[in-house]
Homo-oligomer: A and B are copies of this chain.
């Protein structure tokens, strides 16, 4: 199963919309952006750590194409993003890149560490 896994680890986030402490808003944004780039959401799960509204949020979207994961640490001004897409049937790599870029922008980070993995053997 071949695919592309993109990660973006953000620090110094200004987070003008307060997404790092608001699981509902972050879930809605992730879902909207995933749909806009043409990925298919088949499940979602977000969890706000206590105390809610102050501590961070962790969440995932299950995609027909694989998944998106986001974890926030407001106390560190840090966010991690993962978008993994399989390329079974069609190449979803451009959609994955668009989704990561769109999400990164919302947090207005000072630094971003981008990494990527090519996943899956040709058995």
Which residues of A are interface residues toward B (Cβ below 8 A)? 1, 3, 5, 7, 9, 11-12, 42-47, 49, 58-60, 62-64, 66-67, 69, 71, 73, 76-80, 82, 84, 86, 88, 110-111, 113, 115, 117, 119-121, 123
CA of A123 to CA of B76, assembled, Å? 10
* Chief secondary structure at chain A's binding surface: strand
Contact B42–A123 (Cβ < 8 Å): no
Interface residue from B5, B11, B86, B88 paired with A7 (Cβ < 8 Å): B5
Number of copies: 2
Once A9-B119, A119-B9 are accepted as A-B contacts, the answer to whether A62 and B45 lie under 8 Å apart by CB is: yes
Which B residues touch A123, using CB under 8 A? 11-12, 77-78, 110-111
Which B residues touch A111, using CB under 8 A? 121, 123
